[in-house]
Structure 1
Amino acid sequence: MTPRLKVLVLGGTQFVGRHIVEALLSAGHRVSVLTRGRTPDELPDEVERLRGDRDEGPAGLFALSGRTWDAGVDVSGYTPRQVRASAEALREAVHRYVFISTASVYAEQDRHPLHEDAPLLPGAAEDVTEVTGATYGPLKVTCERIVGEIYGERATILRPQIVAGPYDPTGRYTFWIDRIAAGGDFLAPGDGSDFVQVIDARDLAHFVVTVLQKDVGGVFNLAGPRLSWRDFVDVVREATGADARPTWTAANTLAAQGVGGRELPLYLPVRGEQGGLMDLDSGRAQAAGLTLREPRQTARDTRSWSAGTPQRTFLTREREAEVLATLARRETAGGPDCGLLGS
């Protein structure tokens, strides 16, 4: 019988943290969360809520003083200042420290596949506090190093792929689920042979529970099934019952229309500088107990949630219609060189 654990989650009210808390509770464990408490949460009443602000360093962690837990799960550590303060404060207060990092720590993001022993980016200086697209990966590298230095074999580092599923505030994966579910002709990047790879937040959460229950240390990539874009579209169409028709369009043609990664999230050309991020190997984690649900279930459950929840806007339907109309005119006028790659 698995012992009932006391677990502290740093973060825990939004998306990944919420799923981790729910998975821990479902497994019968006791959970405390440390948050700033600035926004309401939807966690069960049985969760102990502690207040603190990691941006204040050790002073912001007063609520942890004199307390002990079996494990700590760091979902909200983005800067070395935050992570060093919590890792040092909990050094003698928890047995295992699980740090949620990112696949963005890898330096050679065009490597296929990306394993845990691939080279990392140079770490950011510990006094860097601004999280941007350029600093995100280097900051996480430094955070990983801090956790490893303080906890040694008691550290577990998880490097997830893009995380998807219900409650996702980024909207990157959800954009495609909602657009395909809406049906009709839609703009699709490439020719369908590039790849999409995400990790369902619930699979990530269940692996955290496994790590804690089995006391597993080490570094693990977390990634779900790798699908071609054509297969991904088919999966979403089947999951949502949508009559949606992709207009596959070359990346350079999209760029000429002013449409790029900001408008069409998730798309990374397989031979591009970041193509390896859609080829993340999770074999080590699967051997340690990571289980993956079918992509169809992730798509279906995400749509069930997103249908009643306002979502972030990427490519608007009006702008998409303009681009599709322009491409159709060019196809009529210019034949095979228009950049359209079939349906």
Structure 2
Amino acid sequence: MATDGPGHVVVLGGSGFVGRHLVPRLLQAGHRVTVLTRQLTPDKRAALSRQASVREGDVHDAGFLRSAFHDADAVVNLVGILNERGDNGAGFERVFVGVAETLIAAMHSAGVRRLLQMSALHAGVGQSHYLQSRGRAELAVRESGLDWTLFRPSVIAGPGDGLFCRFDALLRLLPALPLGRADAVFQPVWVIDVADAFVRSLAEPGSIGQYFELVGPERFSLAQIVRMTARARGRHRAVMALSPGLGRLQAAIGEHLPGKPISRDNWRSLQLDSTSEHDGLAELGITATAVSAKLHEILR
């Protein structure tokens, strides 16, 4: 596909956070796009371009995927979750590893070779079920025999994200925010840059068999991110850094609260700074956007 021009791209998870930004860019690049979603709600349809086709079905169903892939030139897998029920890793395993294995089999059956797989920075490293499951999904992709490209972003920032917008919601309610692992460091990457990385890789044969670590040009501690969010709203909020013991306790309690603001697995992921010395965006010819310059757009 990288040498034959635009083609038909099937996007799993295309109605989600990253997908809503990726689909328009695929269309602008001349691709025909089909989005697979379990249930097409009015909100999902409104968020997607009318130029994109949508098919409802279960991405865990190999038959559904084979049917969706029959005339595809490439598949993009954005399916993911940040939290799961319980704390045994079964949910992450099903969503990351299970879907990857099912779509790989369906692609072979349908004769589709090009796969772009969303992963995460530090996949397979550390103790969190999230990262370990991401790592096992990567292994399945690497051993698939397909023409794959893997993307490992730091936390992705954009309107409706799970970082700035999540803290914004908490800061509306709380005069002070107790924060476990307040010194954890992130390199937030702008969601449009992530979308552009996927589009660029489709046109670049050299991206096949490669990993791209996607990070922004700025590094912030978790405490700095909270303070930035508060200032952008004109709020004055205290950040109380918790000891490791209290941070673990906060996570154990938080996973049972409405909205699950933090979980024990989030806490395990936070033990690794989400930073990289490798600039995958630059490798694809993309200049990374400073997220701080986009903060008002994110919160709007």
Tell me which residue corresponds to 2:289.
293
Q: Distance in 1 between matches of 2:96 and 2:237?
A: 43
Describe the SS at the equivalent of 1:276: coil
Deviations along 1:21-62, one digit per CA (max 9) or x if unpaired, are 122223343211122235342212210122332222x22324
**Aligned CA distance change for structure 1 residues 264 and 281 (closer, same or farther; 3 Å):** farther
Amino acid corresponding to residue 135 of structure 2 in structure 1: V
Partner of residue 221, structure 1: 213
So what's the TM-score if we normalise by structure 2? Answer: 0.73
Shift of 1:192: 6.7
AA in 2 matched with 1:23: R
Query: For the Cα contact (< 8 Å) 2:178–2:240, is it kept in 1?
Result: yes
The corresponding residue for 2:98 is 81
Structure 2 gap ranges (5+): 81-94, 255-259
How far 1:277 moved relative to its partner? 3.2
Confirm or deny: 8 A CA contact 1:185 1:247 kept in the other structure: no
**What letter is aligned with 1:160?**
P
Task: Pick one of 193, 197, 202 that aligns with 2:192.
Answer: 202
Correspondence list, 1:60-75, <5 A: 60-64=64-68, 66-69=70-73, 71-75=74-78
Aligned structure 1 segments of 4 or more residues deviating by more than 6 angstroms: none
Give the counterpart letter for 1:211 in structure 2.
Answer: S
* RMSD between aligned residues: 3.6
Please report how far the alpha carbon of residue 17 of structure 1 lies from its aligned counterpart in structure 2 after TM superposition: 1.8
Q: Distance in 2 between matches of 1:174 and 1:81?
A: 29
Question: 1:207, CA displacement in angstroms?
Answer: 0.9
Residues matched between the structures, number: 270
Structure 2 partner of 1:339 = none
Percent of paired sites with the same residue = 24
Q: Is the 8 A contact 1:221 1:280 kept in 2?
A: yes
Q: Alpha-carbon deviations, 1:135-185, whole Å to 9, x = none?
A: x33332232222222235x210112222232233xx4431223455x5995
Match of 2:150 among 153, 157, 177: 157
Q: Deviations over 1:294-339 (max 9, x none)?
A: 22244212210xxxxxxxxxxxxxxxxxxxxxxxxxxxxxxxxxxx
- Secondary structure of 1:244's partner? coil
Code of the aligned partner of 2:79: S
Q: Does 1:44 align with 2:61?
A: no
Structure 1 CA distance for aligned equivalents of residues 181 and 76 of structure 2: 40
Report Cα offsets for 1:121-146 as digits up to 9, x if no partner.
Answer: 8xxxxxxxxxxx63x33332232222
Structure 1 residue 208: Cα displacement: 0.7
Amino acid paired to 1:212: L
Find the residue that maps to 1:105 and give its secondary structure.
coil
**Contact map agreement 1:5 1:29 (CA 8 A) in 2:** yes
TM value normalised by structure 1: 0.65
In structure 2, the CA distance between the partners of 1:184 and 1:250, relative to structure 1 (3 Å rule), is closer
